[in-house]
Structure 1
Amino acid sequence: MKVFFIIPPEKGIVDKPTSPQRGIACLAAVVRENKHDVAILDMRLGYNRKDMLDKVKEFNADLVCITTVTTDHKKVYEMVDLLKEKGFKVALGGPHVSAFKKKVIEDTKADYAVKREGEGALVKLCNGEDPKTIKGLIYRNEKEVIENEDDTFVREPDEMSFPAFDLFELDKYIDRKLPIITSRGCPYRCTFCSINLTSGFMFRPRSAKNVVDELEHWYKKGYKYFGFNDDNFTLLPERAEEICDQIVERGMKIKWELRNGIRIDKVNERLLRKMKNAGCMYVAFGVESADQEVLDNIKKGITAEKAKEAILLADKVGIKKGAFFIVGLPGDTYKKFLKTLKWALELPLDEVRFYNAVPYPATDFYKWVEENA
């Protein structure tokens, strides 16, 4: 089967993305490993819908797979219409599908949708298995939309292929940087976060050896800059230390950053020093608010004092650091925002980011907004 993956043209704070998309790279790798022809179009690099249709036609795709986020789902639905008009089979995936499930098929002309982690379902679909037997798949049966039971999450991430970054136009990204994910799943229950819809609550870490094997794989190809995009890189500090130790032991002169945010209660001076020694140049802390009532309302499980300690430790070690905050969470007020702003400005932070609270579908925060708006 010829499988064509599309990353829609989402706009960020800069005109082009800094690096390729890892999720699609992982899916492409397992599909290719199963002897299918695979291509990827990252429309964030400036491609329009005509380009999309031309490239899909040129590839003569049997199946077109599009990743979907809720903020841009309407644009994706329009892309589906265009592809279906030309007679292509279309499958949707990504966080939007995991949140809305069968409604995605009901609202579009797409043939299939894959919820949660998609490797297992997508490979089975490409291999020609009967859709009604494929866990995690949503599909059309004539005029009826069928949603199969959820597939199990990937239990042994070490067994997964390294992502197929070679299928991307790597010379067109802003940075010569590759995204790394060393674990899947998050055991925390922050009310605003939607990651559990896709990856679940069970923390499934890759071994330190497997992570550093991947880093070394790309390092030997000339890549020396990596973005660790985990939700919980330091959840097991000993594993994080081991990753750092192996980077040093293998003599890799790399730089890497943790811009996705880490738990402020899962760092210590020893770990931070090892991180810096292994090439970590930046770490972001997910603080959200300096007001304890707000932190308790969102089930963050931290205190502002603990956050301050972590930030000061990073400063002591000499790693550049930033902090994320969210404005408008349950219990927040303008006065509390000013309190949080003052708190942040008094700390030795190299970067501070304030975001508006967004109620992502199927999260506890979304339900709270429905009940209190």
Structure 2
Amino acid sequence: MRVTLINPNICMQKGDFFGTGIPYLPMSLAWVAGSLRSNHDIMVIDAFGENPMHFRTEGKLHIQGLTIPQILERVPKDTEAICVYAAKVVAFTVTKDIVRALRKEFQVPIIILENTQSVVAYSLKVAGKEFLDAGADYCLIGESENRIEKLLVAIREKKTPAFDGILYRKDGKDVLIDKKEYIMNLDELPFPAWDLFPLQNYWKLGYAHGPMQGKYVPLLTSRGCPYGCKYCVVPETNARRWRFRSPKNVVDEIEHWVKTLGVTEFHFEDLNPTVRKERITEMSKEIIARNLKISWKIVAGTKVETMDKDTVTWMAKAGCTYISISPESGSPAVLKLMDKPFNHELALDLVRHMHKQGITTQACFVLGFPGEKPEDLQLTRKYVRKLVRAGIDEVALFVMTPIPGSNQFSALDGYENYSQLTFTPTWRKDFRRLSTFRNRLYVEFYLLKLIFHPIKLFLQPFNVLFRNFKTKTEMTAFRTLKLMRALATS
């Protein structure tokens, strides 16, 4: 079949240059393309990547990339199915607009693909009905590689789909067959089809999700997460199932992109890549054995308790230069509310060791979780101080937002649409208070860094100037300046 895959635009919330507008490469879509290409004629339309510095503003969003008419022009007239990637929650309204326009222009089946491997995505069990209302025919819930082929066969044979992980409308009623199956042997999947995406345009941007210093691609070395954090959508999209690729399979992919695309940098976008520290150690040794001169970065966070000093040492030897961890709160009481286990003292010890190994580190926090008290915020503040002394290089402070599919989805209200569910939720009644605390803590962080690690702080402006990014903060400063200049001239 002739199948068109569409990655929607990148969207940025007005006034939020730090938390939105991040150009995540569409990993799950690339994996689907890799799985389909052997049996189907695949066309990829990357609405962001094909024209990333073109801006338009609609309501409270700045939208980067192709216009909807440009997307429609690129869809082959003989396409037999169109798959639209439900990439990020901030792009929800724009993605719906794309679906509406496709429905008016084409009579072929429109399929929405869930992004199951991101904390900034959303569950189609919750949000899928709005896509059906906009004109979509099917929503695939869960991993798409093991479902899209079944759906295409059903479409070709004109049969009603009967497999798990699908939402569709029949005779005016929504039919949901919830997901039961998860891909357990990830080594059997073909590598993602990055050659079908405009990587050069992403590289030319000079910024990414993780701090970039050259040609990069994201890696997904595992899927899912075994933890049940209540602010996160992942327990819903992955049912707390963690599955992993073998070290050999991961390094095979690394070597493939080094040889075919000249990639020198790899951004691990796993939800929790280090669950088995032995796997990470073995992978590090395999990189060293193959003499691959690369850098790799854990940019989406990992569970610090799953590592030890020996693991970190091997990671550094193999080229790991960046690790993000997620304490989320300095308060044990809030962590209990979140259902988030975290060992504060162990994390401090490992951050000290990462600092000695030359690995740049980030710690992420969630502010404003329901039930959090002022004294809990002060415990977070005190823990940030301890992290600075231990050598943490940067912190990220997010204000909790109710992601569709998360345990806390119904805990807050006041937003107008899902695109407002960012980590700068200005619609929250307590946002001003939380934002004030966040800004003051950022200032305190840099003042403490000036005291305890002045050389690192002194070098940061030069890292921005010469685009030698060590931290996301440095890269974000560059990205913000570039986007503000582009918006001013658009």
Instruction: Kindly provide the CA deviation profile for residues 177-204 of structure 1, in whole angstroms up to 9, marking residues without a partner as x.
Output: 1010111121111111111322231211
Residue 338 of structure 1, CA deviation: 3.9
Aligned mate of 2:113, from 93, 101, 111: 93
Q: 2: distance between equivalents of 1:349 and 1:293?
A: 23
Q: Please give the secondary structure, in 2, of the residue aligned with 1:285.
A: strand
Report the equivalent of 2:160. 131
Q: 2: distance between equivalents of 1:48 and 1:158?
A: 37
Instruction: Kindly provide the CA deviation profile for residues 294-327 of structure 1, in whole angstroms up to 9, marking residues without a partner as x.
Output: 1111111113223222222211222110110111
Whether 1:9 and 2:9 are equivalent positions in the alignment is yes
Contact 1:289 1:304 in 2 (8 A): no
Aligned mate of 1:303, from 332, 335, 343: 343
Report the equivalent of 1:332. 372
Report the equivalent of 2:403. 360
Of stretches 170-179 and 209-218 in structure 1, the one that deviates more from structure 2 is: 170-179
Q: Please give the secondary structure, in 2, of the residue aligned with 1:11.
A: strand
Report the equivalent of 2:30. 25
Report the equivalent of 1:39. 43
Of stretches 241-250 and 14-23 in structure 1, the one that deviates more from structure 2 is: 14-23
Question: TM-score with structure 2 length normalisation?
Answer: 0.71
Report the equivalent of 1:184. 223
Matches within 5 A, 1:240-279: 240-279=280-319
Q: 1: distance between equivalents of 2:25 and 2:93?
A: 23
AA of the residue aligned to 1:226: F
Residue 235 of structure 1, CA deviation: 0.6
Q: 2: distance between equivalents of 1:350 and 1:326?
A: 18
Contact 1:77 1:108 in 2 (8 A): yes
Of stretches 64-73 and 293-302 in structure 1, the one that deviates more from structure 2 is: 64-73
Instruction: Kindly provide the CA deviation profile for residues 38-90 of structure 1, in whole angstroms up to 9, marking residues without a partner as x.
Output: 1212222321111101101x463221111124333222222111111112431
Contact 2:123 2:236 in 1 (8 A): no
Residue 125 of structure 1, CA deviation: 1.7
Report the equivalent of 1:350. 393
Q: 2: distance between equivalents of 1:261 and 1:310?
A: 14
Q: 2: distance between equivalents of 1:201 and 1:171?
A: 35
Q: 2: distance between equivalents of 1:102 and 1:11?
A: 20
Residue 3 of structure 1, CA deviation: 1.1
Q: 2: distance between equivalents of 1:141 and 1:299?
A: 38
Report the equivalent of 1:284. 324
Residue 239 of structure 1, CA deviation: 0.5
Aligned mate of 1:171, from 200, 203, 208: 200
The count of aligned residue pairs is: 369
AA of the residue aligned to 1:5: L
Of stretches 236-245 and 190-199 in structure 1, the one that deviates more from structure 2 is: 190-199
Residue 351 of structure 1, CA deviation: 1.2
Q: Structure 2: 5+ residue runs without aligned partners?
A: 53-64, 116-121, 207-214, 414-428, 430-490
Instruction: Kindly provide the CA deviation profile for residues 151-206 of structure 1, in whole angstroms up to 9, marking residues without a partner as x.
Output: 41101111001000010011100352101011112111111111132223121111
Q: 1: distance between equivalents of 2:352 and 2:373?
A: 27
AA of the residue aligned to 1:54: E
Contact 2:5 2:83 in 1 (8 A): yes
Q: 1: distance between equivalents of 2:97 and 2:309?
A: 50
Question: TM-score with structure 1 length normalisation?
Answer: 0.92
Contact 2:3 2:79 in 1 (8 A): yes
Q: Please give the secondary structure, in 2, of the residue aligned with 1:27.
A: helix
AA of the residue aligned to 2:249: N
Q: State the Cα RMSD in Å.
A: 2.2
Residue 149 of structure 1, CA deviation: 4.0
